A and B are shown apart, each in its own frame.
Chain A
Amino acid sequence: MSARFRWLIIGPSIVYLAMFAAFTLAGSIYLSLQNRTLGEKLSPFVGIRNFQRLFNDHRFHNALAVSAIWELVTVFGTMVLATALAVALYEYVKRRQLRDLLCLLFLIPILLPRVAVAYIWRFIYSPTLGIANYLGTQVGLPPSIFLSSPDGALYWVAAVDIWQWALFYTVIIAKLIETLPPEPLEAAKMDSAGTLVTYGQIILPMLSAPMLSLALVKSIESLRSFDLIFIMTGGGPGTATETLDLLVYQVGLNLTGRVSYASAMSLVLLIVTAAGLAAIWKGTRKWAV
């Protein structure tokens, strides 16, 4: 492929994205160096004061921690569950129609509007009016207060996120497995290797590149889950479920419109995200195709 051809087809995309990124980043940095609230037209430059304040802001630190836990739980939860289900689907459901039906069912949660999902699950989790406690007590489990529990709330909300994404990813990974050449699998089966061994040593390495792609996409999506959390708990109890994107939205748009402070927070989030994901990307490129 000639270099000319290559840059002809990549060029427009890169130019467009670079322009967009440069502009929005510049605007965001500009804002963060001021002390602007939406209620005022102008604002003086305060340099890096917002960043200095972030350093001492306990609520910001808490939000970083909550976001980190949220990321780990939702990404790992999604990938592990999706892989397990995809493998089970591929291995144990041979009939075409049943497999397609299951795939369609698994696609439903992710297509629901996030807002609706949040309300529905919030209602299901209601300690007195929801069906979760009702079913739980029927099978002998003690009733839970779910979203009111300071320690458990984050995980109950994460379960909803995983509900949407893991089932979706199951379909994708199952389709990925289907695209693999069948020969290595047959060879392994003939060697009567156990199923887990088969999958572990043969299939997954072959799919490592696309699966890594999926994991990174999920990581980024998880950073945007504030609308789910906001409706289910509002960030509570206390700040137990207050992720950084929720805090940024609250501070920047909702409470009193302190956009400069919110921009500073967002930039820190951007740097942390970029650094973290870049590290993961560099680290795993060794075994990516």
Chain B
Amino acid sequence: MNRTVLLAASLAFAFSAGAANAQNQCVGKVPELRVIAQASPSVLVTEANLPEFEQKWKTKVTITKFGEQERRAKARLDLSLGAGVYHVIYMEEGNLAEYVKANWLYPIKPLVPTEYDFDDYRKDMSSIATIDGVQYYAPFEGGGDILMYRKDILDAKHIKVPTTFDELEAAIKAVHDPAHGIYGWAMRGERGFGMNVWRWIPLYVMNGGKWLTDDGKPAFAGDIGVKATQQYLDLMKYTPPGGGSASWSDAVEAFRSGQVAFFIEVDVFGPWMEDPSKSNIVGKVGYAPPPAPLPSAGWAHGWAISTVAVKDNDDCLKAVAGDFVGWSTSKEMEQRRLKAGMISDIGRQSTLTSDAYKKAVNPDWLKAVLTTQPETRVLFLRRPEWPQVGDSLGLVLEQLSTGQRADVAGALKEASDQAEDALSN
């Protein structure tokens, strides 16, 4: 035991000394660092602070931003065809399995300088960024689910905050009043593995559903799948018109415009409800963990380093890229994001529990997030073919939710067959 500790300590010392050396050697050696990203708030703050990083390494950093779909296509093409233009890649949870299988990403921990305190990253988000025990990206935004409700509507109808799923269903029915412009629920309906499927999965997992049978075949067309889908469709009845194909944006805006009473969505949307320039319901929203036994669907976005663009023997490029990843997700940067008014993108546990943060957010929301945190985990299928599988499922779900078809079992079987096809190819 002692010997191991000694070995680890000396390695750590050597590494940090080496890192310091790398810092001295590599200044000016890397002319350009290229990053592919989405224009999310954290990325924008990083971009605004680039001068100090560029100064430190005498490197020009170019962050090329894309819309979500385009970013996926571009990153994939870049890595697959060997273009290797982007050194640092904006990663998301849905594609991680594919990228890892294709060996496109470095394990991130060794490349991030120790001074950035790697273990401070939120455990829920780190676990989402990890496959087979190896973490591949450093998270800066993500989270799990949260229940949001209109305190004023609940008070008016004397309904207490639901703590179980059955109570939630009953409460939704009780407040649903379209004649007066109040809908009980808002939910994603548009097809997509990150869209309507994302809201279906917690229902499935809540009922004990598994993705694959023991012999590796899709299992979601079974009884549990049918039950979960019935519950999903049931809830859909209480959504505003057009809810059958609502995107997450439509659902958020429906809630934010004041027409919806209950809403389970990703927790980062909470602070959005309190933004007076964007929300019509400031101060009227209550927050709670998702009613038991609903699980919390975890997601995380972060920075990864490309093995295609950064060759293994290019120590300086690795050093600069690693430092970029650490610097952009550091405690310091998160505090700057907070100052810039970005409350929702927090990747570090220390930021979440810091005083500055507590002052900036609604305390009920923070309490709900911290309570739910241990429950948040990956609920989707962790395979490279996940987007294909999820897309097939989302497709039939939308057909069901918009009334194009009514046979739940048949629809799920169809999606399951396509998923099996995708998984076996």
A interface residue numbers (CB < 8 A to B): 35, 38-40, 59, 115, 126-129, 143, 145-150, 230, 233-240, 249-250, 253-258
Instruction: Tell which of B102, B396, B402, B404 has the most Cβ of chain A within 10 Å.
Output: B402
* B247 CB → nearest A CB, Å: 8
Beta-carbon contact of A257 and B241 below 8 Å:
no
Find out whether the CB atom of B245 lies under 8 angstroms from the CB atom of A38. no
Q: B244–A250 contact, CB under 8 A?
A: no
Q: Which residues of A contact B102 (CB under 8 A)?
A: 38-40
B101: A residues at CB distance < 8 A: 39
What residues on B are CB-neighbors of A127 within 8 Å?
240-242
Query: Are B191 and A235 interface neighbours, CB within 8 A?
Result: yes
> Are A150 and B191 interface neighbours, CB within 8 A?
no
- What are the nearest 10 A-B pairs in CB distance? A238-B399, A38-B80, A127-B242, A237-B402, A127-B241, A253-B73, A150-B404, A255-B387, A39-B102, A148-B245
Query: Which chain B residues lie closer than 8 Å to A250 at the CB level?
Result: 391
- Let me know if B402 and A236 touch, CB within 8 A: yes
Q: Report whether A126 and B242 are in contact in the complex, using a CB–CB cutoff of 8 Å.
A: yes
In the complex, A53 Cα to B404 Cα: how many Å?
26
Q: Give bound CA distance, A240 to B189, whole Å.
A: 14
Known: A148-B244, A255-B193. 18 other contacts (CB 8 A): A35-B425, A40-B102, A145-B241, A150-B404, A234-B195, A234-B247, A235-B395, A236-B190, A236-B245, A237-B245, A238-B398, A238-B404, A239-B399, A240-B404, A253-B76, A256-B98, A256-B422, A257-B80
Give chain B residues whose Cβ lies under 8 Å from the Cβ of A146: 242
Which residues of A have CB within 8 Å of B422?
256
Please tell me if the beta carbons of A255 and B245 are within 8 angstroms of each other in the complex: no
B369 interface contact, C-beta 8 A: no
Collect the chain A residues with CB atoms within 8 Å of residue B425's CB.
35, 258
Q: Count A-B pairs with CB separation below 8 Å.
A: 110
Which of chain B's residues have a CB closer than 8 A to the CB of A147?
242, 245
Of A38, A126, A143, A236, chain B has the most CB atoms within 10 Å of the CB of A236
Smallest beta-carbon distance B406→chain A, Å: 12
Complex contact A143–B241 (CB within 8 A): yes
- Asked if B384 is at the interface of the complex by the 8 Å CB criterion, the answer is yes
Give Cα A239 to B243, complex, Å.
17
Minimum CB distance partner of B193 in chain A: A255
Complex contacts, B398 vs chain A, CB 8 Å = 236-238
Check B391 against A255 for contact (C-beta < 8 Å): yes
Supposing A234-B195, A237-B399 touch, asked if A256 and B385 sit within 8 A by C-beta, the answer is yes
Residues of A within 8 A of B79 (CB): 38
Kindly provide the distance from the CB of B192 to the nearest chain A CB, expressed in whole angstroms.
6
B interface vs A, CB < 8 Å? 67, 69, 72-73, 76-77, 79-81, 98-99, 101-102, 189-193, 195, 240-247, 250, 253-254, 257, 259, 384-385, 387-388, 391, 395-396, 398-399, 401-405, 418, 422, 425
Write the nearest CB–CB distance from B256 to chain A, whole angstroms.
Answer: 10
A240 to chain B: closest residue by CB: B404
Which residues of B lie under 8 Å from residue A143 when comparing CB positions? 241
B98 contacts across to A, CB distance below 8 A:
39, 256-257
A237: which of B67, B99, B195, B244 is its contact (CB, 8 Å)?
B244
Contacts of A258 in B (CB 8 A): 388, 425
Min CB distance B69 to A, Å, is 6
Report whether B387 and A256 are in contact in the complex, using a CB–CB cutoff of 8 Å.
yes
Q: Which A residues touch B245, using CB under 8 A?
A: 147-148, 233, 236-237
Flag if B404 contacts A257 (CB, 8 Å). Answer: no
**12 pairs, CB–CB < 8 Å, chain A vs chain B:** A38-B79, A147-B245, A148-B245, A148-B402, A236-B190, A236-B191, A237-B244, A237-B402, A238-B395, A254-B69, A255-B388, A256-B98
B402 touches A129 (CB 8 A): no
Nearest CB on B from A32, distance (A): 15
Among B76, B243, B244, B254, residue most surrounded by chain A Cβ atoms (within 10 Å): B76
Using CB atoms, name the residue of chain A closest to B253: A129
CA–CA, A35 and B422, complex, Å: 12
**What CA separation (Å) do A236 and B77 show in the bound complex?**
26
Q: Distance in Å from the Cβ of B72 to the closest Cβ of chain A?
A: 6
CA distance in complex: A113, B199 (Å): 32
State whether A39 touches B384 (Cβ < 8 A).
yes
Chain A residues within an 8 Å CB radius of B99: 39
| A257 with B76, Cβ < 8 A, contacts A128-B259, A236-B398 known | yes
Q: Are B240 and A128 touching (Cβ within 8 A)?
A: yes
Q: Across the two chains, which residue of chain B brings its CB closest to A38? A: B80
In whole angstroms, what is the CA distance A150 to B189 when docked? 13
> Hey, which chain B residues are within 8 Å of A235, CB to CB?
191, 395
Which chain A positions have C-beta within 8 A of B241? Answer: 127-128, 143, 145, 148
Separation of A230 and B247 alpha carbons in the complex (Å): 12
Within the complex, the shortest CB–CB distance from A227 to chain B, in Å, comes to 9
Q: How far is the CA of A178 from the CA of B162 in the complex (A)?
A: 70
User: Chain A residues with Cβ under 8 A from B246's Cβ?
Assistant: 148
List, in ascending order, chain A residues with CB within 8 A of B385's CB.
256
CB distance A150 to B391 under 8 Å?
no
Smallest CB separation, B176 vs chain A (Å): 15
- When distances are taken between beta carbons in the complex, the residues of chain B under 8 Å from A39 are 80, 98-99, 101-102, 384
Q: How far is the CA of A235 from the CA of B393 in the complex (A)?
A: 14
The answer to whether A234 touches B192 (Cβ under 8 A) is yes
Closest-CB distance, A22 to chain B (whole angstroms): 21
Interchain CA distance A218-B99 in the complex, whole Å: 39
B69 touches A150 (CB 8 A): no
The answer on a CB contact under 8 Å between B399 and A145 is no
- Known A-B contacts A129-B253, A129-B257; A237 and B391 likewise in contact (beta carbons under 8 Å): no
Instruction: Determine the distance from Cα of A233 to Cα of B99 in the docked complex, in whole angstroms.
Output: 28
CA distance in complex: A253, B195 (Å) = 18
